[in-house]
Each structure stands twice: as C-alpha cells, then as structure tokens.
Amino acid sequence: MTGPSRHSTFRPALATLTLVGLTLAAAMALPGCAPLVIGGAGATAAVASEHRGLKGFASDTQIRASINHLWLQHSLEMTNRIGLSINQGRVLLTGRATDAQMRLDAVRLAWQAEGVREVINEIQIDNGAGIVDNARDTWISTQLRTRITFDGDVHSQNYSIDTVDGVVYLMGVATTQAELDTVIQHARSVANVQRVVNYVRLLASL
C-alpha cells in the first residue's frame, strides 16, 4: 500500500497560506487601511508560531480591515485617535476619543465587523494630553515589547501591547501562568507605567 503523495501532504498547508494571502490582499484593498507586509518564509513562520495559527491570524486581519473601514467611513479622526488590537476575534479598543459620542460610536461600529466575538472598551475621553504624553506612551510600549522579545521564557508574538496615559493594556494568549506573570512583571518594571490592565488568556482555557 502506498502512502499519501507528497503533493497531497502539502495541500492543506498551501490552502491555509492561500487564505492568508487573499485575506491580506483584501485588507489592503479597503480604503483607509495601511499596507500590511509579511516578508518571506521567516515572517510566515513567525505567524504560524502564534497560538492562533495562520487561519486565526487571517481572520483577525480581516476583522481589523473591516473595523478600520467602518471607522474611516464614519470619521477620519476616529481612525487617528482610537487604537485597535485583535486576538482570536476579541477586540481591544484604546486611545483618546474627543468626546463620549465618539467613544460610543467606535464601540458600536467595532461590533458590526463580521467575526467579532468580544469588544473590550478601554477608550478614554481626551483630557488634553499632548505630544509629550503620546511620546511617553509609545516609549513605554516599545520598552515592554523589547523586554519580552528578548526574554527566552516568553512567546512575545502572542501578546499585543497598548499604552494610554501610562496605563499598559495587555492582550493575547499566554502559554502558562508563569509566562503571563513574567510579562506583567516586565510591564510593571518599565519607567512611568501607572497601571497594568491584563486581558491575556491562558492557552489551556481556550
């Protein structure tokens, strides 16, 4: 009896990669969506190593494109002010809205995107934060990303980081509780961090 051919073995992987490619192409075709580039086999392998896998990545990418499109149709300022992180259909909204109405509209429109399973609203009302505050938040996120990337005990690709007014919002999937505790400790140790809000789930609970 002969085993499965080499071509049949690679067919599922090829189909998944094709799905990712088509999804990314669709995302870039939508108005207002910034180009997303994945370069070569190394980047594809990095995506595949995430707990959500290639299909999960493709689904989240499509959700991001849909929400950005809905926001852009509603208000260009909304797309500039509101941050967006997505993991396995869970949407985390951060940033500073001009007023309560923009905050409400951003959440309402996010729910309209197909595939959204949960919307976590952490949008703040603009309190007059300036360039210095925004630069500080960016610096915090960059510092934390660097620390977990170079920590051999952390699968950093499974985490998203958003910082608003010194508050760090973590989202994603942790391999173990010990890994999650390490990431939270890294976040708390970064200068100027006021608080850490954890929306990370454990792999075992999925």
For residue 59, pLDDT over 80 is answered with: yes
- Using a 10 angstrom Cβ sphere, with 0-12 exposed, 13-18 middle and 19 or more buried, the burial of residue 140 is buried
CB 164 within 8 A of CB 94: yes
Domain boundaries, the chain: 10-125, 131-205
Condensed to tens digits (0 to 9), the pLDDT of residues 114-163 reads: 999 999 999 998 877 678 888 999 999 999 999 999 999 999 999 989 99
Torsion of CA 183, 186, 192, 196, to 10 degrees: 30
Query: What is the CATH code of the structural domain delimited by 131-205?
Result: 3.30.1340
- Best-predicted range by mean pLDDT among 27-31, 83-87, 167-171, 190-194? 190-194
Residue 55 — very low, low, confident or very high, per pLDDT cuts 50/70/90?
A: confident
Which percentage of the chain shows pLDDT scores above 90? 61
SS3 helix, strand, coil % of the chain, rounded to 5?
55, 20, 25
* Residue 112: how many other CB atoms lie within 10 Å: 10
Judged against a pLDDT cut of 80, whether residue 19 lies above it is answered with: no
Q: pLDDT class for 187, splitting at 50, 70, 90?
A: very high
Encode 20-48: b = buried (16+ Cβ within 10 Å), e = exposed: beebbeebeeeeebeeeeeeeeeebeebb
Tell me which of 26 and 181 has the higher pLDDT: 181
Instruction: Tell whether the model's pLDDT for residue 29 goes beyond 80.
Output: no
Asked whether the predicted pLDDT for residue 41 surpasses 90, the reply is no
d(CA 132, CA 129): 8
Say what the pLDDT of residue 28 is: 41
Residue range 33-60: mean pLDDT, rounded: 62
